[in-house]
Structure 1
Amino acid sequence: MNALLIDDSRLARTELRHLLRAFPEVEVVGEARHADEARALVQELQPDVLFLDIHMPGQTGFDLLASLEGPTPQVIFTTAYDQYALKAFEVNALDYLLKPVSESRLAAALAKLRPPELAATAPPPLPTAAPALPPLAAHDQVFVKEGERCWFVRLADIRLFEISGGATRVYFEQHQPLIPRTLQQLEARLDPKVFFRANRQQIINLHWIAGIEPWFSNTLKIKLREGPEVEVSRNQSGLFRELMSL
């Protein structure tokens, strides 16, 4: 995969180039400081993927994409601003990485890249066994979508994941959207030092605990800040005591 780095910051381009050395399947074929320079390099080099900043002198990253003629390379945004995440996904960006970019988030973004021969066609069929994605840290931000509504939210701000029917309800701020994920899928990616499987139906954020009290049959009941009370199963109550005790 040939990549073009587009960012007005030389330091940001250098750091990203350094991170990409850990991924031999990606070759950096050029760098651009602004949209005009990038436009010429896209035409000349025909890269497979753009690592694209948003705020640059002159035109923005969105302006650049709108001006490209012919097949558009796949796009991974790299920016210091989180308020453009929804717009980024509206233009079919593969991912939206906040600076400073971490190696784990970069790996997750690169896992979404399609081979060049498939990039301009419909997405390939889903494999029978999806590759394992890297774990997420509490400070990472995730894209949450329910119907036509979208959010870009820090994992640290999510206080509860709860099974609801065949989906999982996500509790953050005043929102409770449903996402098509199982608790098992989420648990595999969440930091166990922050998120705890309280029972078969719920995963709680330990940082949102407001109170704990003994409950029936040697179990526990946990009160979350701005959230519901959660009954911890007997087995998990024992594990919780073990994990949280000195």
Structure 2
Amino acid sequence: MRTLIVDDERLARNELKRLLEPYTKIEIVGEASNADEALTLIDQLQPELLFLDIQMPGRNGFELLSAIEGKTPEVIFTTAYDEYAIKAFEYNALDYLLKPIDNERLKDTIQRIEENQSHPEVHVHSEERAGKVLGADDQVFVKDGEKCWFVKLGKIRLFESMGNYVRLHFDDQKPLVLKSLNNLEERLDPITYFRANRKHIINLNWVEKIEPWFSGGLLVTLQGGDKIEISRRQAIRFKELMSL
């Protein structure tokens, strides 16, 4: 993947190049110290991926992206500041890496890039995204306190209502987001995400075991061990979806 590094700090560029050395699919074709240099190189080199700093002399990283004519490369933001994470999501960033860049975090990012190459996605602008039904391959930004993630929806096995919040279950993480379960249900692809009861939406791709339960309901076990009751009313729909 043809890659351009854009950062005003030479030491930061050199460190990132060192970290990227083990990843043979990442071909660094150039580097730039500011937005103007980057625009010229993007036009000349046609990179597929940018590792992009945000705060730089002159135009910042967001202004750089807005100035690109034609197809915009995939973007991974690299910055020492976490306050730009939400805005980065609006630009469809693949990821948001905080400096100093952690090697394991970078490894996860490269794996995501390789997955995207194997299963290319259709990227949409933020205003189109707001009304878009989200499926397993869509990536979302999640922030809980000081922690933030870019995570593919397909990795989220369970959405759990917690009052005015929803707890997301993915990997070994369980962050809370300020959303209602009803609001999320409207945005999620009903082919993949199923409203099991008033408190839970499950990812059907994570269903491991199904058992009869009280009063005509069902008990579903997800990969990882979560056990979720499907109400009698929803069990009828569930059986239709799962062709039971």
TM-score (normalizing by structure 1):
0.60
- 1:37-116 correspondence to structure 2 within 5 Å: 38-39=35-36, 53-55=49-51, 61-62=52-53, 65-69=54-58, 73=63, 75=65, 78-79=73-74, 84=77, 90-91=83-84, 92-93=87-88, 94-95=90-91, 96-97=93-94, 102-103=121-122, 105-107=123-125, 109=126, 111=127
Gaps of 5+ in 2: 5-29, 40-47, 67-71, 95-112
Name the counterpart of 2:203: 205
Return closer, same or farther for 1:182/1:69 CA change in 2, 3 Å cut-off: same
* CA-to-aligned-CA distance 1:196-245 (integer Å, 9 cap, x gap): 10011100011111111101111111111114211101110011111211
CA apart distance, 1:73: 2.3
After the TM superposition, which residues 1-246 of structure 1 pair with which residues of structure 2 at under 5 Å, given as runs? 35=32, 38-39=35-36, 53-55=49-51, 61-62=52-53, 65-69=54-58, 73=63, 75=65, 78-79=73-74, 84=77, 90-91=83-84, 92-93=87-88, 94-95=90-91, 96-97=93-94, 102-103=121-122, 105-107=123-125, 109=126, 111=127, 132-245=130-243
Residues 132 and 187, structure 2, Cα contact 8 Å, conserved in 1: yes
Q: Within 2, Cα distance between the matches of 1:151 and 1:167?
A: 17
Say whether the 8 Å CA contact 2:193–2:201 is kept in structure 1. Answer: yes
- Change in CA separation of 1:221 and 1:74 when aligned onto 2, cut-off 3 Å: farther
CA shift for structure 1 position 135: 1.3
Residues 145 and 227 of structure 1, relative CA distance in 2, 3 Å threshold: farther
Distance in 2 (alpha carbons) for counterparts of 1:87 and 1:186: 31
CA distance in 1, matches of 2:222, 2:168: 14
The structure whose residues are more often helix, as a share, is: 2
> Between the two proteins, what is the percent identity of the paired residues?
38
Contact 1:85 1:152 (8 Å CA) reproduced = no
Q: Is the 8 A contact 1:212 1:221 kept in 2?
A: yes
Give distance in 2, aligned partners of 1:86 and 1:159: 30
Residues 146, 227 of structure 1: CA spacing in aligned structure 2 closer, same or farther, 3 A cutoff?
A: farther
C-alpha distance in structure 2 between counterparts of 1:212 and 1:163, whole Å: 22
Distance 1:231 1:39 in 2: 56
Q: Tell me the TM-score normalised to structure 2 length.
A: 0.61
Aligned length: 179
| 1:109-149 deviation line (CA, Å, top 9, x unaligned) | 2x18xxxxxxxxxxxxxxxxxx9521122112211110101
Letter of the structure 1 residue corresponding to residue 184 of structure 2: L
